[in-house]
Structure 1
């Protein structure tokens, strides 16, 4: 059955022009991406984005949410047969105080202990496409570099 998969992501950029990345282990795969995830049926985009941050970031709230980019080309969904991915990216700020740990290194968790996610800051100018897992995130990274060049 042909379907659309809708995903919503938060682009969190700090004062040092660093982007918040999520390192995850899902479906037996290590992945580095921008924080966010799948929209649930009956949910609006902003509600979905806020829910994702609440779920993934220990109850973290976000604010100052503004649209950055929506997929405007065909992107096949990687984990679904016969599905098209539509991704919506929003710039947002983390509401203080922070409620989750920021790591210094990638994949700073123990899979065998049941942990599957960590977060870290990376300078946008230093971030390379091959450090990001998904094709659409690589595309958005280049848009971020054009917007937040130093």
Structure 2
């Protein structure tokens, strides 16, 4: 059976600003949504809550499911691995607790929802999600 890598991401908007993080990935630096990989034994919402807490010191509440990837995406690291991404709209319980804990995160970028573009993120699926978010799908 081919292994799957399930990734879960959060769309966090604070005062009409969308959070994007900058971090290294596959030998380059990318801009992407906060989140990460599902660990064995946890659900997607638990994964997202853990990732926000571990990386950004933020407790979040998941508002709603936003998008689940519906096309094949091969891993850049392992040609025998398939990537599967799930996106949720989230809110921070207390945005003042925001503190970058994950040393890989180089920058937090806040983009105004009225100005955000698909090219503001690096990954194909994230670009699709931005198009859906701004109503250009």
Which residue is 1:138 aligned to? 127
> Residue 97 and residue 134 in structure 1: after superposition, are their counterparts in 2 closer, same or farther (change >3 A)?
closer
The Cα of 1:115 is off from its aligned counterpart by 4.1
How large is the RMSD of aligned CA atoms in angstroms?
2.2
Three-state SS of the structure 2 residue aligned to 1:146 is coil
> Residue 27 and residue 74 in structure 1: after superposition, are their counterparts in 2 closer, same or farther (change >3 A)?
closer
Question: Number of residues paired by the alignment?
Answer: 134
TM-score (norm 1): 0.79
Distance 1:115 1:49 in 2: 18
TM-score (norm 2): 0.86
The Cα of 1:142 is off from its aligned counterpart by 0.4
Three-state SS of the structure 2 residue aligned to 1:21 is strand
Three-state SS of the structure 2 residue aligned to 1:126 is coil
Which residue is 2:64 aligned to? 66
Distance 2:62 2:127 in 1: 24
Distance 1:32 1:91 in 2: 18
**Runs of 5+ in structure 2 lacking a partner?**
none
After superposing on structure 2, the runs of 4+ consecutive aligned residues of structure 1 that deviate more than 3 Å are none
Superposed, 1:1-150 pairs within 5 Å as 2-16=2-16, 18-57=17-56, 59-101=57-99, 115-117=103-105, 118-146=107-135
**Runs of 5+ in structure 1 lacking a partner?**
103-113
